Structure 1
Amino acid sequence: MHEALVDFIQSLPVWLQWLGGMAAAAIPFVESHFGTLIGVIAGVPLPIAMLAAIAGNAVSMLAFVFAASAARRKVLARRTPAEAAPEPTARRQRVKRMLDRFGVPGVSLLGPMVVPNQFTSSILVSLGANRTVVIVWTSISIVLWSIIFALLGQLGLAVLS
């Protein structure tokens, strides 16, 4: 079965392999790390699997960050100085505690173990973290997690072979 999947994937044009990898990695909870792993297992050449997953995840993350930033600006513009902020959700409180403890770099690098980086990065921005700093550190995280899972995928395929 695995060989049939690999043969099918490798028979596709390279642009379609890229598109499939990017689309998979743009999905929260799949992200660059599982997108890379799926690509490696499916027989997509490692560089294509990694770069496509990183690109798809980064584009998705940027969409979430810019949307959260715009929403934050609109909410803050409507709020009067005397108006209190609404009670944050449990997820926001958890991310806020992590932000206070580890800063943007720590939350960006460790966050994907708990919550998809699209959600983590948008929550960081909505909590008031600098958008550019969040984008830079989340991008670094996307690349690092992709490398880790590419290595795990290669190791797993070597063990199974």
Structure 2
Amino acid sequence: MLDALSDFTTGLPAWAQWIGVMLISAVPFVESYFGAAIGVLAGVHPVVAIVAAVVGNAASMLVFVLTADAARTKVLAGRAGEDGPEPSPRRLRLKRMFDRFGVPGVSLLGQTVLPSQITSGAMVSFGASRNAVIVWQCISIVAWGTAFGLLALGGAELLSLR
């Protein structure tokens, strides 16, 4: 899959490759970290690749947060004391992580388990502040994208791929 995304990015004209990086970074599980690395390895200037990856991932995450917030509001308005369906094991694991580490911890560490879009939507559905989730997810997206972009740059220079 990463090869196909890399081919997609490199197949674009040089002036439009940053748009490709932004688009692929909006995909869950690709995120800012793989998007930045793919962009750097595709030959996009590292700063442009990292910024494009962060913007694509953050835009996608915002859609998930706002959708989860609207859905939660609608469900809570329609539900008066009734219990919902049994949560999945993955959701229970994320809930335990949320209860233990809070929004900052899940935002910064959660991307090792699930994409930012899923963790952000889940935190809002658990009742976390929409704005706190957005702020901490943006911090996490920038940190992960920058780290992986710089690692890709260092690796490419070390192996003389750039």
Q: Mark yes or no: TM-score above 0.5.
A: yes
Distance 2:155 2:115 in 1: 23
Q: Is the 8 A contact 2:18 2:39 kept in 1?
A: no
Question: C-alpha offsets along residues 42-98 of structure 1, whole Å, 9 cap, x if unaligned?
Answer: 1111111011100000000000000111111111111112x1232211121111100
Alignment of 1:36-115 (within 5 A): 36-81=36-81, 83-115=82-114
Alignment of 1:2-21 (within 5 A): 9=10, 12-14=13-15, 16-21=16-21
Distance 1:77 1:157 in 2: 52
Distance 1:32 1:154 in 2: 15
Distance 2:34 2:55 in 1: 13
Q: Which runs of 4+ in 1 moved over 6 A?
A: none
**Paired position in structure 2 for 1:160:** 159
Q: How many residues of Structure 1 are paired with residues of Structure 2 in the alignment?
A: 154
Q: Is the 8 A contact 1:9 1:44 kept in 2?
A: no
Q: Is the 8 A contact 2:33 2:149 kept in 1?
A: yes
Q: Is the 8 A contact 2:33 2:148 kept in 1?
A: yes
Amino acid across the alignment from 2:41: I
**Paired position in structure 1 for 2:144:** 145
**TM-score, normalized by length of structure 2?**
0.89
Alpha-carbon shift at residue 9 of structure 1 (Å)? 4.2
Q: Is the 8 A contact 2:50 2:146 kept in 1?
A: yes
Distance 1:42 1:139 in 2: 24
Alpha-carbon shift at residue 13 of structure 1 (Å)? 4.6
**Paired position in structure 1 for 2:123:** 124
Structure 1: stretches of 5+ with no match in the other structure: none
Structure 2: stretches of 5+ with no match in the other structure: 1-5
Amino acid across the alignment from 1:12: P
Distance 1:158 1:120 in 2: 33
Q: Is the 8 A contact 1:10 1:43 kept in 2?
A: no
Distance 1:151 1:10 in 2: 23
Distance 2:133 2:11 in 1: 36
**Paired position in structure 1 for 2:3:** none
* Alignment RMSD (CA, Å): 1.9
Larger Rg: 1
**TM-score, normalized by length of structure 1?**
0.90
Amino acid across the alignment from 1:104: V
Alignment of 1:15-30 (within 5 A): 16-30=16-30
